[in-house]
């Protein structure tokens, strides 16, 4: 059994959607981020990175980082084939874009939503946020140009990249404008939104 450490407000839903797609059993532990529980020893002992989400594996090891969780689930549950495995022609490009979204896209949202985590200068918060929004526009335009499938990211069809990308767009300040400017991203997100796994997880996060 897996245990997912999550928080409704964080919206970091990709690991949960992936587990739903794979049909693997898991339970959840809610971490109260609003009260700072993720920074307290209890959670910090579980995930030293002190960020959410984290996943306890059946053998009791805990891993954080959405990209690492995606890859580990993918190699353990290959039947749905949403994470290309070593030897698969799409593996390299999959790793490239998963890493780009985790290392570039995700932190841009942290900068935009939490500029206070970037600067000690409270007066600079708004400038940090504006720069993050501009960089996000560039980031999504770059992703839109790089989507090679239709309606999904990769020509092979549905993959965890689609889930990850859709998660990022959910954090956008103006998702309609994002979709209008980036039609391939819009197509990916609409296709993902039609999937029962995504609808189920989103409903829980919106409760």
Q: Which stretch binds ligand GSH (CB under 6 A): 61-69, 154-162, 182-190, 194-202?
A: 61-69
In the complex with ligand GSH, which residue's Cβ is closer, 187 or 202? 202
Contacts 24+ apart (CB under 8 A), 103-112: 103/67, 104/139, 105/136, 105/139, 105/143, 105/168, 106/66, 106/168, 108/132, 108/135, 108/136, 108/139, 109/136, 109/168, 109/171, 111/135, 112/136, 112/173
136 binds ligand GSH (CB under 6 A): no
- What backbone torsions phi and psi does residue 126 show, to the nearest 5 degrees? -65, -40
125 binds ligand GSH (CB under 6 A): no
In the complex with ligand GSH, which residue's Cβ is closer, 12 or 108? 12
Q: Shortest Cβ distance from residue 111 to ligand GSH (Å)?
A: 11
Q: Which stretches of the chain are assigned E, i.e. beta strand? A: 2-6, 26-30, 54-56, 62-64
56 binds ligand GSH (CB under 6 A): no
Judge contact between 151 and 188, C-beta under 8 A. Answer: yes
114 binds ligand GSH (CB under 6 A): yes
Q: Shortest Cβ distance from residue 38 to ligand GSH (Å)?
A: 6
102 binds ligand GSH (CB under 6 A): yes
Residue 6 CA to chain centroid, in angstroms? 12
Q: How many residues bind ligand GSH (CB under 6 A)?
A: 12
Q: Which stretch binds ligand GSH (CB under 6 A): 64-72, 83-91, 93-101, 147-155?
A: 64-72
In the complex with ligand GSH, which residue's Cβ is closer, 51 or 184? 51
44 binds ligand GSH (CB under 6 A): no
Phi-psi region of 51 (alpha: psi -120 to 50; beta: other; left: phi over 0): beta
Among 20, 21, 65, 162, binds ligand GSH (CB under 6 A): 65
51 binds ligand GSH (CB under 6 A): yes
Among 3, 80, 104, 110, binds ligand GSH (CB under 6 A): 110
| Exposure class string for 116-149: b at 16+ Cβ within 10 A, else e | eebeeeeeeeeebbebbbebbbebbeebbeebeb
Residues that bind ligand GSH (CB under 6 A): 10, 12, 38, 51-52, 64-66, 102, 106, 110, 114
């Amino acid at each position: 059994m897996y245990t997912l450490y999550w928080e409704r407000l964080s919206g970091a839903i990709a690991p949960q959607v992936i587990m739903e797609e794979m049909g693997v059993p898991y339970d959840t532990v809610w971490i109260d981020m609003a009260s700072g529980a993720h920074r307290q020893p209890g959670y910090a002992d579980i995930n030293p990175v002190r960020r959410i989400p984290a996943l306890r594996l059946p053998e009791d090891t805990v891993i954080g980082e959405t990209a690492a969780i995606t890859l580990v689930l993918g190699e353990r549950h290959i039947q749905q084939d949403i994470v290309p495995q070593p030897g698969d022609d799409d593996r390299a490009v999959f790793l490239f874009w998963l890493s780009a979204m985790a290392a570039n896209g995700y932190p841009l949202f942290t900068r935009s939503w939490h500029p206070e985590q970037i600067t000690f200068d409270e007066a600079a918060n708004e400038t940090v946020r504006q720069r993050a929004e501009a960089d996000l526009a560039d980031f999504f335009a770059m992703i839109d140009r790089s989507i090679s499938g239709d309606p999904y990211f990769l020509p092979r069809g549905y993959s965890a990249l689609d889930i990850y990308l859709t998660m990022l767009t959910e954090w956008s300040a103006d998702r309609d404008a994002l979709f209008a400017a980036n039609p391939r991203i819009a197509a990916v997100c609409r296709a993902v939104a039609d999937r029962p796994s995504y609808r189920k997880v989103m409903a829980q996060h919106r409760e």
